[in-house]
Amino acid sequence: MPQATYHFPRGFLWGTATAAHQVEGNNTNNQWWQWEQAGHTNGTSGLAADWWGGRWREDFDRAAETGQNAHRFSVEWSRIQPTPDRWDEEALEKYRTMLRGLRERNITAMVTLHHFSDPLWLAEKGAHSTGSGQGWENPEVVALFEKFVRKTVDALKEYVTLWCTINEPNIYALSGYANGTFPPGATDLKRAVNVIANMLRAHAVAYRTIHQIQPEARVGYALHFRPMVPKVGWSPLDRLMRNLRYDGVNMAFPSGISTGVMKSPVGNVSIPEAKGTQDYLGVNYYSVDTVSFHLGKPKELFTHSDFPTDSDFSANKFIANIPEGLYDSLKWAVRTYPDLPIIVTENGVEDAEDKMRPRYIAQHIHQLWRAVNFNWPIKGYFHWSLVDNFEWERGWTQRFGLWGLDLETQKRIRRPSVDLYAEICKENGLSSEMVQKYCPEVFEKIFPS
Ligand code: FCB
């Protein structure tokens, strides 16, 4: 049996990622809370992982003790700016305390400024007055986001240089406005495209604002990248659909940033100020889609997805374990933006019983290592997530944490994956012993004899 270790470059960032609304608890002043109260989600966020109540401390301890040297979390706009004319300095101070907490534990911070949640006042803005749409549909959002970013970055700059403006603008827009699973539950592709265009404008403004305040900042966004294959490889219609969906889901932001013209399924949008506004690319990778042509159901193109039928599925079949997709995503990234640093800003699987997670982690880290070996400038990996958290419309049915969470008692449950990931972080690599110990079922795939 081969014995070897796949090593990573010195200084590689090993961490986990979280998002404010998913872990903080009691985020009563944003549009998700309202959406939950209206019964659109599987349970409500409630106390979540109680980070706002202070449990971030014990979770950061866990991260540090298990060898993580980086953490990505997001700040909650509705806490920092509870009404359009008020800044909550206490909330900002709390985030500063959390950032000091990371620094004390030698953990590099990456801060996301927008991760799916919006202040209620923003979500309602524009209603009945200008007729120009609400929330991110209203063009005023660009200037409002700029203000919020200026205030927040100015308050936190002492502790952070790695900034992520917006998490998964494609998923936010498509889920909220094309397939209706996120608030406001709309199903209109044109509205989704308008939202994503405003997000790109806001990203561009944020990019410049952050650099103005902090010239040494590294600013980017997190793209949910979805490799796709036609269901029937030889079918011209499946291939056509695959290409349409691929461009619609994956290419809007990247095309806008490359050229200043955002590609979209309903026509291109010129946003010249977006050109070149990234210092790194954040890639969120989870799985691969298969795409097919459904006669009479063109609307399903952006709302329905499928996996290869014989896949290694997660507990609720939400994710198919296809590690090569991570390699393909990174290859796409490095070809699209040669020399731009790349960070895997999210990757993980829902698995309450931790049956699949160990092999999911080992196989994805193996693919990451393959990519790193071409000297592609990949700087870090953030596993989603540190601890179970509120999984949006799917609520508590999907458990993505290395640590489990008992909602009743707030107790953390140490899953075997904690120890595997700790060994990877501490070794700065993946060894044959680790695979043998935690997921022998994929040993041959990772260390072929
Ligand atoms: C991503 C989101 C993140 C989490 C994971 C599972 O799309 O960015 O908040 O929900 O999926």
Is the torsion defined by CA of 366, 370, 371, 376 positive or negative? positive
Distance CA 380, CA 32 (A): 30
- Give the pLDDT score at 133: 76
The crossing angle, in degrees rounded to 10, of helices 169-177 and 252-259 is 130
Mutate to test the pocket of ligand 1, among 167, 179, 357, 384 (most ligand atoms within 8 A of CB): 384
Q: What is the pLDDT of residues 294-310, one digit of tens each?
A: 766 666 776 667 898 88
- Give the pLDDT score at 96: 98
- Give the pLDDT score at 294: 79
Distance CA 387, CA 25 (A): 13
Q: What is the pLDDT of residues 147-173, one digit of tens each?
A: 999 999 999 999 999 999 999 999 999
- Residue 364 Cβ < 6 Å to ligand 1: no
In degrees, to the nearest 5, what angle opens at C-alpha 355 toward C-alphas 354 and 359? 100
Mutate to test the pocket of ligand 1, among 73, 110, 168 (most ligand atoms within 8 A of CB): 168
Ranking 56-65, 131-140, 316-325 by mean pLDDT, the lowest is: 131-140
Residue count of the chain: 449
DSSP assignment string, 290-309: EE---TT-GGGGGT--B--T
- Please, which residues have CB within 8 angstroms of residue 289's CB and are 6 or more apart in sequence? 226, 227, 228, 229, 245, 305, 306, 307
Residue with tokens 């992982």: 49
- Label the pairing between strands 281-284 and 342-346: parallel
- Give the pLDDT score at 308: 84
Pick the CATH number of 10-416 from 3.40.190.10, 3.40.50.300, 3.30.457.10, 3.20.20.80: 3.20.20.80
- Give the pLDDT score at 128: 43
- Give the pLDDT score at 297: 66
- Residue 392 Cβ < 6 Å to ligand 1: yes
Say yes or no to pLDDT of 131 above 60: no
**% of residues, the chain, pLDDT over 90:** 92
Q: 392 near 33, Cβ under 8 Å?
A: no
- Give the pLDDT score at 129: 47
Tell me 282's DSSP state.
E
> What is the C-alpha end-to-end distance of the chain, expressed in Å?
6
Distance CA 145, CA 137 (A): 13
Q: Which of 427, 340, 328 is nearest to 376 (CA)?
A: 340
Mutate to test the pocket of ligand 1, among 284, 344, 388, 394 (most ligand atoms within 8 A of CB): 284
- Please, which residues have CB within 8 angstroms of residue 69's CB and are 6 or more apart in sequence? 13, 14, 15, 106, 107, 108, 425
- Residue 423 Cβ < 6 Å to ligand 1: no
The residue ranges of every structural domain in the chain are: 10-416
- Please, which residues have CB within 8 angstroms of residue 239's CB and are 6 or more apart in sequence? 230, 233
